[in-house]
Amino acid sequence: MPNDDGNWIMPGKDYASSRFSGLTEITPANVKGLGLAFTFATGTTKGFEAPPLVVDGTMYVITPFPNYLYALDLTQDGAPAKWVFKPKPAAAAQGVACCDVVNRGAVYSDGKIFFNTLDGNTIAVDAKSGKQVWRTTLANIQKGETITMAPLVADGKVLVGNSGGEMGVRGWIAALDAGRGKLAWKAYNTGPDKDVLIGPDFKPYYAGEKGKDLGVKTWPPDAWKIGGATVWGWISYDPELKLIYYGTSNPGPWNPEQRPGDNKWATGVFARDISSGKARWFYQSTSHDLYDHDDINESILVDYPVGKERIPALLRPGRNGFFYVMDRRNGRVIAATPYGFINAAKGVDLKSGRLIPVPEKEPKSGRVVRNICPAAPGMKDWNPAAFNPLTGLVYIPHLNLCMDEGVMEANYIAGTPYVGAEVKMYAGPGGNRGVFTAWDPVQRKPRWEIKEDLPLFSPALTTAGGLVFYGTMDGWFKAVDARDGKLLWRFKAGSGIIGQPISYRGPDGRQYVAVVAGVGGWAGAIVSGNLDPRDPTAALGMVNAVKDLPNKTTAGGMLYVFRLPG
């Protein structure tokens, strides 16, 4: 295990997306003494999904729209602001954002902070002065495109993808030169091979991914041009293989009757060469996605035991409900195991790699299909899991939601919703809407679980001190024992938590834990967007699942930072 320098410079902590801190001062034995060190009000009341960054005594906080970037001086008592950068994104971007006006984080590299704005710009800011270094426009809000994901900086490139899978956009990922912001390459996730950067080096493992121009042939004519497959989640990077890994979103529209075929290259995982963008392999976890089970979730890079050797692997708690272990050299699925209740699929055929659907759960026009599990946000949505190399466990904050769904024809008008489905979600078996699972990827089963009343949309943090941190939508920030899940400490924040916790070493040498509370996003839009709880289909059916949330929390945007006394 490498030494931890005490910084936190990218949302996933490292290129492997472990969300693991190597700090050990805070332990199960002393965490009960954890207390507030300082707070900071960001002045925003929309869904706060981004983690803070910490770089050599300065903390950086990126807000939801209007995407202010704050620098806080950790060397001073109370961490006063050093500067704030206001990018002034176009207000019209708020009208085409699918699910609140969120931002999933910034990243630090080589003296600059890189982040995206909702209106489709990628910006580099000097980390010391707060002055803009460059700004590049990548997305077009007139088409319904926004950018909500956190960029990844690797090998001198800034990697960015678009959002808008519910707006009839065409998904892509782009690489910018980190020094000047110039476009290095851009790859679409639908369309002809030349647009997808598929060439002689593309060697997928499964036969179903092989063939010419599958990004066109697996769609009705021209449907791929408005077919989604965006990149609004997470990117990981293997410096040895020089490959990036990212998932693609749902195909559009949600109504599957309008897009017969496998709908390549939606709802799957791409491996691409970082220098050229050329695709190396692809695996489609859900062919012809029926339920918005897009596959943008995190890819955790580990060395995984297979027989007598350890291979480079991806660990992926998928939205379709299966925990995937994959060989990251070629995309082969080693294991795909349910980590919650599933009745919409029978399993994954490891010979073909294909998900095995349940025909009676397929949405069709003229009827409402009831009790589909997992629901549209999946077994787990965007909020990432954490991997602790000391326990060997993956800590997964996830959902226990099912849904009723009816579909109808969607008409495409640029910049407007393109969905064609009406959904109503509710709690799954047992009545709890959230679960926190410690998953053993080798034994392929849970080590322990915690049932939560509300859906879990907070990412997880785990530490070498033997702890796991996560938040709940009614504002509890919790620390549990990484070995057995025992609740050891909790703090009630002023708003629900969907933000990512981090841990860092302060200028005083002490270990700190930080999180921003600010309920919102898809799940919390009933609060941050003040939606009517009497409309069960509001927020694409999520309101029905959380109609009690306004009684349990209010909107906010407050940073909380904790440390031990003394």
Instruction: Tell me the pairing of strands 461-463 and 20-21.
Output: parallel
Per annotation, catalytic residue among 209, 238, 289, 292: 292
In order, the DSSP letters of 482-518 are TTT--EEEEEE-SS---SPPEEEE-TTS-EEEEEEE-
Hey, what amino acid is at 67? N
Per annotation, catalytic residue among 166, 238, 295, 381: 166
Cβ within 8 Å of residue 551, ≥6 positions away: none
Per annotation, catalytic residue among 162, 189, 250, 383: 250
530 has catalytic annotation: no
Do 423 and 405 touch, CB atoms closer than 8 A?
Answer: yes
292 has catalytic annotation: yes
Q: Is the dihedral of CA 217, 222, 223, 229 positive or negative?
A: positive
Any idea what DSSP says for residue 362?
S
**Which structure tokens are listed for 236?**
């990981």
Burial grade of 241 (CB within 10 A; 0-12, 13-18, 19 or more): middle
Cβ within 8 Å of residue 152, ≥6 positions away: 10, 15, 107, 158, 159, 235, 236, 237, 244
**Which structure tokens are listed for 113?**
């902070």
Burial grade of 503 (CB within 10 A; 0-12, 13-18, 19 or more): buried
Do 166 and 522 touch, CB atoms closer than 8 A?
Answer: no
Do 304 and 334 touch, CB atoms closer than 8 A?
Answer: yes
Which helix (H) or strand (E) segment holds residue 70: the answer is strand 69-73
Residue 243, CB-side half-sphere exposure with 13 Å CA sphere: 23
Do 471 and 47 touch, CB atoms closer than 8 A?
Answer: no
250 has catalytic annotation: yes
Dist. CA 13–CA 446, nearest whole Å: 24
Dist. CA 270–CA 189, nearest whole Å: 9
Of 139, 111, 144, 140, nearest in space to 125 by CA: 111
Buried b (16+ CB within 10 A) or exposed e, 124-149: bbebeebeebbebebbbbebbbbbbb
Which of the residues are catalytic?
A: 166, 250, 292
